[in-house]
Amino acid sequence: MAERPLVAHEAEYASVRQRLLEQVVAETRETGDLTGCYELSEAVLRALVTVPRHRFVPVEQVGFAYVDKPLSIGHGQTISQPFIVALMTELLQPDSQATVLEVGTGSGYQTAMLAGLVRRVYSIERIPELAEAAERRLRELGYSNVEIRDGDGGLGWEEQAPFDGIMVTAAAATVPPALIRQLKPGGRLVIPVGEPYRSQDLRVMSKDERGRVETRSVLPVVFVPLVRDRE
């Protein structure tokens, strides 16, 4: 049986957003033994209920925008499950003065979550059509602290480095060295690592003041692969 859309009218968004929030809070608590994160900060919770996810999905998916699952956005890409978006945002530990690099703009949903929490977001998307659509969407929604470009996200954004935090929203076979180099001492890199379309390892990599990097495995995940230029 086909799944029935949860949203039919604009007025219903408030109630389904609240329902989604409750689901994400419960899932965060239930996975806390694995992730080390038992609750989300007020800032992340606020972003979860204020960023209009229905504006970041294709029109045929709008009815499922507040279901806690990934959705297709075309070009073989997805908008991530809200729980994972919230968890990765929490793991990054962003603050209001931070400059963050996002690798994998996609629809721009995670970008918007970050933009409401930090000073500046630089985001790289390998698929030009997605980059253009996300840039237009974010501009229409009033996000003025975001800059997007299309390119190989594994190379980072050298001109704007170093970054207080780096978030990668696609799975890399190995951690790109450029991203570690472009991370500030004291910063965090949140990245899924593993083979495409298989269970991958969501990792948090923290760089100390001496430049040493400590890696922690957080949770098994499944992300689309990070699209790289051929070398």
Q: What's the pLDDT tens digit per position in 165-190?
A: 999 999 999 999 999 999 999 999 99
CA distance linking residue 110 with residue 58, whole number of Å: 16
Please, which pLDDT band fits residue 149 given cuts at 50, 70 and 90? very high
Q: What per-residue confidence (pLDDT) applies to 123?
A: 98
Distance of CA 95 to the CA centre of its chain: 16
Tell whether the torsion through CA atoms of 186, 188, 194 and 200 is positive or negative. Answer: positive
pLDDT at 52: 94
Does residue 80 carry a catalytic annotation? yes
Percent of the chain residues topping a pLDDT of 90 = 88
- Residue 7 reports pLDDT greater than 50: no
Tokens of 83: 């729980």
> In percent, how much of the chain has pLDDT > 70?
94
CB atoms within 10 A of CB 222: 16
Catalytic residue among 80, 123, 144, 206: 80
Q: What pLDDT, on the 0 to 100 scale, is given for residue 9?
A: 55
Q: What digits encode the pLDDT tens for the residues 81-115? A: 999 999 999 999 999 999 999 999 999 999 999 99
pLDDT tens for residues 212-225?
A: 999 999 999 999 99
Cα–Cα nearest to 42, from 116, 138, 151, 123: 116
Instruction: Over range 201-209, report the average pLDDT.
Output: 97
Query: In the predicted model, what is the mean pLDDT of residues 205-210?
Result: 96
Burial track 69-100 (b if 16+ CB lie within 10 A, e otherwise): ebbebebebbbbbbbbbbbbbbbbbbeeebbb
Residue-range domains of the chain with CATH: 10-221 (3.40.50.150)
Q: Which one is predicted more confidently, 19 or 7?
A: 19
The tokens for 122 are 């630089």
What integer pLDDT is reported at residue 231 of this predicted model? 44
pLDDT at 163 over 50: yes
**pLDDT tens figures, 37-52:** 999 999 999 999 999 9
- Asked whether 146 and 116 are in contact (CB, 8 A), the reply is no
SS3 of the chain: helix, strand, coil, percent, to 5 = 35, 25, 35
Q: How far apart are CA 220 and CA 35, in angstroms?
A: 10
Place of tokens 């780096």: 166
Q: Which helix (H) or strand (E) element contains residue 29?
A: helix 13-30
Please give the DSSP secondary-structure letter assigned to residue 31: T
pLDDT at 196: 84
d(CA 102, CA 115): 11
Q: Using 50, 70 and 90 to split pLDDT, how confident is the model at 10?
A: low
E strands of 89-140, at which residues? 99-103, 120-125
227 pLDDT tier (thresholds 50, 70, 90) = confident
Mean pLDDT, rounded, of the chain: 93
The Cα 110–Cα 94 span in angstroms is 13
For residue 202, give the nearest of 211, 193, 213 by alpha carbon.
193
What's the pLDDT at 184?
97
